[in-house]
Structure formats: C-alpha cells, structure tokens
C-alpha cells in the first residue's frame, strides 16, 4: 500500500516505522524543521518539510497514487482540513483524522460524513476503552477483546510459586479448563512464539487466548489474587479521567443533553455499587467534575502530597488509575500508592518503552496511549480483509484480524498442512456457527474471520496467503 502521513510526532513516526517495516510505501509531511529532520534521519521514507494543508505538498508526497491519508498533527481542525482538501481531488482515498473534540466523533458516529473523512481516531476514547476492559477483569492484567466473539487475549506476569511457574506447555490443557491457548511468552526482553516443549517460569509475561468468562481463572493460576474493585480512585480529571469516570458511573442517559460519546466504549456492569474518587489539582476542573458526577467524591488535591494520601485514606482504595498528562507522575503515583496498600494500579503512559518500565516497577496494567492510537489507525489503514492490527510484546509481534478472501490460497486447506512465516500461529476462528480456537481438524474456509499472531514484517506474505491484498 501507499500511505501519506501528515504529522511526524510520536504517533506519526511510530506509524511510519511500522508501515515501512511491513514493506509499505510511506511519505511523511511535517512542518516543524526539527521534527522533519529527526524523521528523515531515522525513517527510510520520503520526508517533506512543508505544511500538510498545502496541495502542492500533498501532490509531491504522492497523494494521487496513495491508498490512504493519515493526518495526525496536533490540531483537530488542521487534520480535518487536510482530509477535506484530499477528498476534493481524490474521493476514493481512505482518509483518517486524529481528533480530540468529542463533537466531531459524535457527528461521525451518528452517520454524518464530515469533509469526506472515512474514520476519526479519538486518542482519549481508545485509551479509556483499554482501561475499562482491564477493570472488567479486576485489573489483574492487560486484556484485548475481539469484537463478535466471546474470546479475549489476556497478558499477565507469572508469579513465583504459582500454578504456571515451571509448567511445560504440553501439560497446559490439563491445568486450564475450557478452550485456551498460550500465544506468546516474553522472557528477559525476548518475545517467544511458544511450542509444547516451552516451559514457563516465574517472571515470564504470557499472553493467553481464552473465553472472557475464563480469563479471571487464568490470571489467578498465574498468581494474581482476585479482589473486588469497589473503591476506585482516578488521579487526573482531564479528558481521559472523565471518560473513565463516565464509564464506571454509568450516568442516566435521560439526564444527558447530547448523545453519549461513551456509548462507543464497552459498558461495565458492576456486580456491586462502586465508590469513585476523582483527584485533580485544578480547582475549576474540580467544580466541573463535581457537577458532572454528583455520585463521585471529587478532591481538589495534589496526589504527590503524602499528608493528603494519609488524611483522605487514599491508600484504602482497591484500585488507583493514574491518568494525568504527566506519565512520570502516573508511574510514580501508581507505584507509591501500591506500596501504601492499594491493591491494584493502572497507569497511563505515552509509549511502549515506558510501559515496559512501569510493569517492571509493579504496575498491574499499563496503557501506552500512543501505541493504542497507532494500533487503531493501523486497523483502518490496512486494505483488503484486514480487520485489525495490534502490536504486543516488545512491539515485534503482531496480532492480525483478517477475513479469508475468495481467492485465498489457503482455502479448503487443513490447518495441519499450513504454516505461517517465522512460526506464526492461527489463534482464533470466527465463522457463522460461532468462534473457536482451531484444532488439527480445522479446514480454512472462504469468509472465515481469523485472528493470528506473527512477527513483524510478515504482513504482506499473510495478505497473499489469505487472498486479501489490495
């Protein structure tokens, strides 16, 4: 595919790096001289230092031959204008704009097509969705859900002395009830696509595919203790923190003056009433939050103030979610409050590098916001039958959701006669009769939606095998 990216910030460069690695033709436009130079020195693609809303710049970047345009500048309006300019000349081009204004997303979700834009990506919504998914499973580990199926991919660290410590994977099915599959093992910085001979050990981070109702039991076998999350604290009352609070409190739709943005997120169904505390330094923002969430306790305080933590009994919470704009503060506050007795901690960070550090420090669930946004964009950019792309582990492993095309070379082939490049694995099949983890008697069928795991750089070969190349 040919993709033009406007904006060479962290999201733009991460996206470009991935697409280049997957052998796509990428052009990058950036108006800031330093960012453009940085991208040009590190990325093997065309980098133009120019304004993205310049028709000449878009044409020079190859917009006429491109399959997709992705606008990820710091301005919602600039992203939308660039997409509109491209749509006026190239209406068949896939156009994606990153925005943070809730109203734009509501209009798009209501069916209105603004400026010819095909997809809006809202970073705060994407991050909040990830937080709520983790909370549904007690914040015991990271969870990735697959739409239209009862299956999820859970990621958790193995504790010393747990049932998984020392377990050989050939014995895994005898221990774990229900359909399940260990898809990836992270060990000392290395990502391992496991076999039956692989032995698990304390400190390994494992990624397991299983049904939603079985996930909590899997986390417990890995050594995580189950604990109801009734008292939840949110540090940071900005956009992400407010979205998380909205999802947890489930305000009465009758009271809302406009369509709920949060209808985009998977609603939680709490078994018991939750008590939510929001901690925010900004006084005016606290007033707004108190009016918006009368059921919550809103505290105008600094989370780094040790006396405040003791006086307000913040250390008595079951879960703390640190969602400020300062990722270092999020990590430190999460680790500190866990040391004071808070059972679980979720921290928002910028990228996957900080996520690895936070996990090593003991944070239970880490949400790398930029990586979440990149994954969302990739799911829209990929052509043919590719329905979703998610990067896990150290970023070198992909989870790809794909539909088997009518011309797929694997159609009518038994899975026993098939192998993916570099030891990849088909983890899940979703067809009209339902979803299942494939066994040796599975035969690929046209129209099957499958989820597979593979190393980076194998995407083009995967598209060729499954007959979905654009």
Q: Please count the CA atoms within 13 angstroms of the CA of 365 that sit on its side-chain side.
A: 32
Same domain, 298 and 359: yes
Closest CA to 1 of 32, 36, 27, 35: 27
Closest CA to 436 of 210, 206, 173: 210
Same domain, 99 and 155: no
Closest CA to 178 of 215, 127, 132: 215
Angle at 215 (CA atoms; ends 161, 358), nearest 5 degrees:
65
Number of residues that make up the chain: 470
Last residue of a domain, one of 221, 254, 279: 221
**Which structure tokens are listed for 321?**
């979610």
Per the structure, the complete domain to which residue 408 belongs is given by 382-465
User: For residue 388, what are the β-bridge partners?
Assistant: 401
Same domain, 162 and 203: yes
Q: With the CA atoms of 392, 398, 401 and 404 taken in that order, what torsion angle do they form, in degrees rounded to the nearest 10?
A: -160
Same domain, 387 and 324: no
135 domain residue, yes or no: no
353 domain residue, yes or no: yes
Same domain, 342 and 318: yes
Q: Find the CATH number of the domain harbouring 159.
A: 3.30.70.1450
Q: From the CB of residue 333, how many other CB atoms can be counted at a distance below 10 Å? A: 25
Same domain, 253 and 341: yes
Closest CA to 430 of 211, 174, 141: 211
d(CA 53, CA 56): 9
138 domain residue, yes or no: no
Same domain, 303 and 248: yes
Last residue of a domain, one of 369, 401, 435: 369
Q: Give the pLDDT of residue 421.
A: 66
Same domain, 457 and 351: no
User: For residue 205, what are the β-bridge partners?
Assistant: 157, 186
126 domain residue, yes or no: no
**Which structure tokens are listed for 56?**
């000449």
User: For residue 156, what are the β-bridge partners?
Assistant: 206
Q: Give the pLDDT of residue 112.
A: 62
**Is the pTM value of this prediction over 0.85?**
no
133 domain residue, yes or no: no
Q: Give the pLDDT of residue 349.
A: 93
Same domain, 346 and 416: no
Q: Give the pLDDT of residue 373.
A: 87
Q: Give the pLDDT of residue 176.
A: 87
Task: Note down pLDDT in tens along the chain; length 470 residues.
Answer: 899 999 999 899 989 988 898 788 999 999 999 999 999 999 999 999 999 889 999 999 999 999 999 999 999 999 999 999 999 899 889 999 999 887 776 666 655 667 788 888 888 888 898 898 888 878 888 888 887 889 999 999 999 999 999 999 999 988 887 889 999 999 988 888 888 899 999 999 999 999 988 888 899 999 988 778 889 999 999 999 999 998 888 644 444 444 454 444 444 444 456 899 999 999 999 999 999 999 999 999 998 887 887 777 787 899 999 999 999 999 999 999 999 889 999 999 987 778 888 988 889 999 988 888 888 888 787 655 777 788 887 667 888 888 888 888 888 889 888 877 666 788 999 988 789 999 888 999 988 999 988 877 666 677 777 765 54
Closest CA to 76 of 239, 292, 236: 239
Residues 97-136: tens digit of each pLDDT:
999 887 776 666 655 667 788 888 888 888 898 898 888 8
Closest CA to 293 of 242, 369, 328, 239: 242
What is the pLDDT of the chain when averaged over all its residues? 85
Beta pairing, strands 449-455 & 425-431: antiparallel
Last residue of a domain, one of 221, 242, 260: 221
C-alpha R_g of the chain: 23
* 182 neighbors 169 (Cβ within 8 angstroms): yes
Same domain, 303 and 406: no
Same domain, 247 and 360: yes
d(CA 417, CA 414): 6
Q: Give the pLDDT of residue 404.
A: 87
User: For residue 349, what are the β-bridge partners?
Assistant: 368
* 163 neighbors 175 (Cβ within 8 angstroms): yes
Domain count, the chain: 4
Q: Give the pLDDT of residue 62.
A: 94
């Amino acid at each position: 595919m040919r993709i033009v990216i406007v904006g060479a910030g962290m999201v733009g460069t991460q996206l470009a790096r991935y697409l280049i690695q997957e052998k796509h033709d990428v052009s990058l436009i950036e108006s800031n001289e330093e960012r453009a130079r940085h991208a040009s020195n590190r990325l093997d693609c065309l980098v133009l230092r120019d304004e993205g809303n310049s028709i000449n710049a878009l044409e020079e970047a190859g917009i006429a031959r491109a399959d997709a345009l992705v606008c990820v500048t710091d301005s919602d309006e600039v992203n939308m204008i660039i997409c509109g300019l491209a749509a006026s000349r190239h209406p068949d081009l896939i156009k994606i704009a990153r925005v943070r204004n809730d109203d734009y997303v509501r209009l798009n979700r209501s069916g209105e097509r603004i400026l010819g834009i095909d997809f809006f990506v809202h970073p705060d919504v994407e991050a909040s969705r990830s937080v709520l998914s983790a909370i549904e499973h007690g914040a015991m580990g990271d969870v990735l859900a697959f739409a239209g199926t009862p299956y999820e991919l859970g990621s958790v660290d193995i504790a010393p002395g747990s049932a998984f410590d020392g377990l050989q994977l050939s014995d895994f099915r005898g221990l774990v009830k229900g359909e399940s599959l260990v898809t990836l093992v992270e060990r000392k910085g290395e990502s391992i696509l496991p076999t039956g001979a692989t032995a698990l050990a304390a400190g390994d981070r494992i990624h397991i595919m299983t049904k939603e109702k079985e996930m909590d039991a899997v986390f417990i076998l890995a050594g995580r203790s189950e604990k109801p999350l009734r008292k939840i604290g949110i540090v940071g009352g900005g956009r992400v923190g407010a979205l998380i609070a909205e999802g947890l409190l489930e305000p009465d739709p009758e009271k809302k003056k406009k369509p709920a943005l949060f209808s985009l997120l998977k609603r939680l169904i709490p078994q018991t009433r939750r008590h939510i505390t929001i901690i925010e330094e900004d006084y005016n923002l606290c007033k707004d939050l108190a009016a918006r969430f009368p059921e919550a306790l809103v505290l105008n305080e600094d989370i780094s103030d040790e006396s405040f933590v003791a006086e307000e009994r913040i250390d008595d919470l079951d879960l703390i979610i640190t969602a400020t704009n300062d990722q270092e503060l999020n990590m430190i506050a999460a680790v500190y409050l866990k040391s004071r007795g808070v059972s679980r901690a979720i921290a928002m960070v910028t990228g996957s590098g900080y996520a690895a550090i936070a996990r090593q420090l003991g944070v239970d669930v880490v949400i790398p916001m930029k990586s979440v946004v990149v994954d969302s964009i990739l799911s829209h950019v990929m052509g043919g039958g590719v329905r979703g792309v998610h990067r896990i582990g150290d970023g070198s492993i992909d989870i790809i959701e794909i539909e088997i095309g009518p011309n797929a070379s694997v159609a009518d082939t038994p899975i026993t006669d098939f192998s993916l490049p570099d030891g990849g694995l088909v983890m899940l099949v979703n067809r009209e009769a339902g979803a299942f983890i494939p066994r040796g008697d599975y035969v690929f069928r046209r129209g099957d939606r499958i989820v597979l795991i593979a190393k980076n750089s194998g995407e083009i070969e995967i598209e060729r095998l499954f007959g979905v190349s654009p």
